Amino acid sequence: MALEQLPEDTDGQSGRLLNGLDHVAVITGDTERLIAFYAEVFDATVRYQVPGPGGGRISVLQIGPATALNIYEIPGNTEARRQAPMFGRGRLDHLGLRAASRETFDLIRDRLIARDASDGFVTDFGPTLSLFFRDPDGLEAEVCVPNPAGRPGVHNPPGTPAPGYQPGVPSRSTTDGAGAAG
């Protein structure tokens, strides 16, 4: 059976059966630290907190219009401390988040650089710009945004630098102060 090549969904009106990712669940050893990070970098808000398994707790953060980050703190669970290189992490390798706009992508990038959570390198994958970061527990994740300079059918390999961004330099500093050039 051949795989069907679907056109890229750029307007959110693809007719697909799903409307995005509802939530991602992570395990932590320090709920307050993780909540503070996602609130400060992504303007996430706590929707609710409830008791969790084994005397722990579950905190649900709203990180997007229809996406939540479920944080589980379970006494005695040390999974949050285990680190592995990319593609050696098991079935789920990393988390990819979608920025609301190019401007919010730049703001998030600046916040991640300020917290030493990212080196600020932006990859130009063609249709998508991508920035990797690590949260306080070491979870590697990525922030993506549509590339306004992307061309249909052009896909670049990992490590292709995005024009207008310099690693470690805040987005507002790379141009005339209005954000990164693109």
What residue has token string 């920025």? Answer: 99
Give residue 11's Cα distance to chain centre.
Answer: 20
Q: Model pTM?
A: 0.81
Which CATH code for domain 21-75? 3.10.180.10
**21-75 shares its CATH topology with 88-174:** yes
Read off the pLDDT band of 14 (50, 70, 90): low
Q: Give the largest CA-CA distance in the chain.
A: 53
Mean pLDDT of the residues in the chain: 85
Residue 81: what pLDDT?
72
Task: Tell me what the mean pLDDT of segment 128-141 comes to.
Answer: 94
User: And the tokens for 67?
Assistant: 């996406």
Give the side-chain half-sphere CA count within 13 A for 163: 7
Domain boundaries, the chain: 21-75, 88-174
Instruction: Please name which of 36, 27, 29, 17 lies closest in space to residue 92, comparing C-alpha atoms.
Output: 27
**CATH code linked to domain 88-174:** 3.10.180
Helical axes 31-42 vs 102-114, angle rounded to 10°? 140
